[in-house]
């Protein structure tokens, strides 16, 4: 049997602690399947005195996590701290010392992933990050290995469990976004400051990594158009259902003739498609490629056990001697992403106008849309409440997004429009009905 793979773990929070537990729990199984042991030989965390119950009290403690890289008894540094400044210093120190790196740090990689991958490849060490996207779903391994002979043209999915939980509960209960968010915070599904999740930024970090893996481009977080779920109302969810859709926060990356399109936003997905049935804190990803066609991946996107499972899968690859480029192509060969303007995207849209109920309102909206070349596929307007605010809801035929935004901006200036119009993109899937 080969000598053990020796791991230094930086960070003993949810993910780091879960990784320690899983390595102990699956020790015999891993030995049988990998042909060598994977052992924790050093740890580092912010508070040494904290009682964690991980059974690693006798493992050497390192005060400065970056010093894990200098130890002779460490082959791999698992950076599970999170954040950016300290984590980046830890990863750069490990690479400079010729140590392999495993990380779950999507935020750091979405901003510095290309540079870190280049440095790792120059030193001949692995930079592995299965746990950075979608927790227990092996989507990175699928793009790096399973679909390696395919030309991937599209990746889209539900990448944030907090937002999916909120939208699922809003539909089930009819409660507002703010009410369900407060419940999610109590249950631990949302942070005290939920902006990273509900604003779509967490999804954007993950999407930037998937885009690079799928299309062979440098990681381009700044190229991700990002919109959160804060403006989604129970009314939108009800109307979506009536039209045959469900609202999800999606990350979508496409390789188009105009360039690479990256966007994060609420979207209406048809009820008879895979993403519509993904509920609660689960994640799901759909890829479209030339030979494999449509592939669907679903599972738990966060939490101690799924994320630790992903970390250990990377450790196993390293223990087996697998050395793959971090982003499929060698980092030096990654292309600069040519961004496709979001305004050039063409597709159908859901529109909701909150209007003052008086004669002529519908004609005002219709004229404004017609001036922008926007045609209506269907419409719902219920009841009458003269002099009060009522909704008018429409679905458009395929329209250029920039033209629609310009039309809505002009319509919003009309006195009968009581609040900014709501626009939600409709996503349809190749291979579905």
The set of catalytic residues is 206
Residues 322-351 as b or e (16 or more Cβ within 10 Å = b): eebbbbbbebeebeebebbebeebebebbb
Alpha carbon distance 129, 140 (integer Å): 8
Alpha carbon distance 394, 376 (integer Å): 7
Strand partners, 206: none
The C-alpha angle 101, 105, 110, rounded to 5 degrees, equals: 105
Report how far apart, in Å, the C-alpha atoms of 268 and of each of 238, 250, 352 are. Answer: 12, 9, 13
Report how far apart, in Å, the C-alpha atoms of 417 and of each of 253, 303, 357 are. Answer: 34, 44, 10
Residue 149, classified by CB atoms within 10 Å of its CB into exposed (0-12), middle (13-18) or buried (19+), is: exposed
User: Concatenated DSSP letters for 43-84?
Assistant: EE-S-TT-----S-TTSPB-SSGGGGGG-TT-SEEEE---SS
Q: Please, are residues 411 and 369 in contact by the beta-carbon 8 Å criterion?
A: yes
Sheet with 5-10: list strands edge to edge. Answer: 38-44, 5-10, 76-79, 100-103, 127-128
354: left (phi over 0), alpha (psi -120 to 50) or beta: beta
Pairing mode of beta strands 100-103, 127-128: parallel
């Amino acid at each position: 049997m080969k000598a053990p793979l020796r791991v230094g773990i930086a960070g003993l929070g949810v993910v780091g602690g879960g990784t320690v537990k899983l390595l102990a729990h699956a020790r015999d199984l891993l030995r049988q399947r990998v042909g060598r042991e994977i052992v924790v030989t050093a740890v580092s965390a912010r508070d040494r005195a904290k009682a964690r119950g991980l059974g690693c009290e006798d493992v050497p403690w390192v005060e400065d996590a970056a010093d894990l890289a200098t130890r002779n008894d460490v082959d791999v540094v698992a950076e599970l701290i999170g954040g950016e400044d300290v984590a980046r210093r830890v990863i750069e120190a490990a690479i400079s010392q010729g140590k392999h790196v495993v990380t779950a740090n999507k935020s750091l990689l979405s901003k510095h992933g290309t540079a870190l991958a280049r440095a790792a490849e120059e030193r001949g060490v692995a930079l592995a990050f299965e746990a950075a996207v979608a927790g227990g779903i092996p989507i990175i391994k699928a793009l790096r290995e399973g679909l390696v002979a395919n030309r991937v043209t599209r990746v889209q999915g539900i990448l944030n469990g907090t937002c999916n939980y909120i939208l699922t509960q809003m539909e089930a209960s009819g409660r507002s976004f703010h009410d369900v968010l407060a419940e999610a915070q109590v249950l631990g599904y949302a942070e005290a400051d939920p902006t990273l999740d509900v604003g779509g930024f967490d999804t954007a970090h993950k999407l930037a990594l998937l885009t690079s893996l799928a299309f062979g481009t440098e990681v381009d977080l700044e190229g991700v158009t990002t919109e959160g779920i804060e403006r989604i109302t129970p009314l939108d969810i009800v109307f979506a259902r009536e039209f045959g859709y469900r609202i999800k926060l999606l990350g979508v990356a496409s390789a188009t003739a105009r360039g690479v399109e990256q966007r994060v936003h609420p979207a209406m997905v048809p009820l008879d498609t895979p993403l519509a049935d993904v509920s609660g804190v689960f994640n799901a990803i759909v890829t479209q490629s030339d030979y494999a066609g449509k592939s669907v991946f679903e599972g738990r996107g966060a939490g101690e056990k799924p994320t630790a499972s992903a970390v250990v899968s990377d450790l196993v690859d390293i223990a087996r001697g697998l050395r793959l480029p971090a982003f499929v192509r060698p980092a030096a060969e990654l292309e600069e992403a040519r961004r496709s303007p979001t305004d050039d995207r063409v597709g159908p849209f859901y529109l909701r106008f909150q209007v003052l109920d008086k004669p002529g309102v519908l004609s005002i909206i219709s004229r404004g849309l017609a001036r922008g070349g926007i045609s209506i596929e269907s419409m719902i307007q219920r009841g009458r409440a003269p002099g009060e605010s009522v909704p008018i809801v429409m679905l458009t035929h395929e329209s250029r997004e920039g033209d629609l935004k310009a039309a809505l901006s002009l319509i919003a200036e009309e006195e009968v429009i009581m609040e900014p119009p709501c626009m939600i993109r409709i996503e349809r899937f190749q291979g579905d009905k």
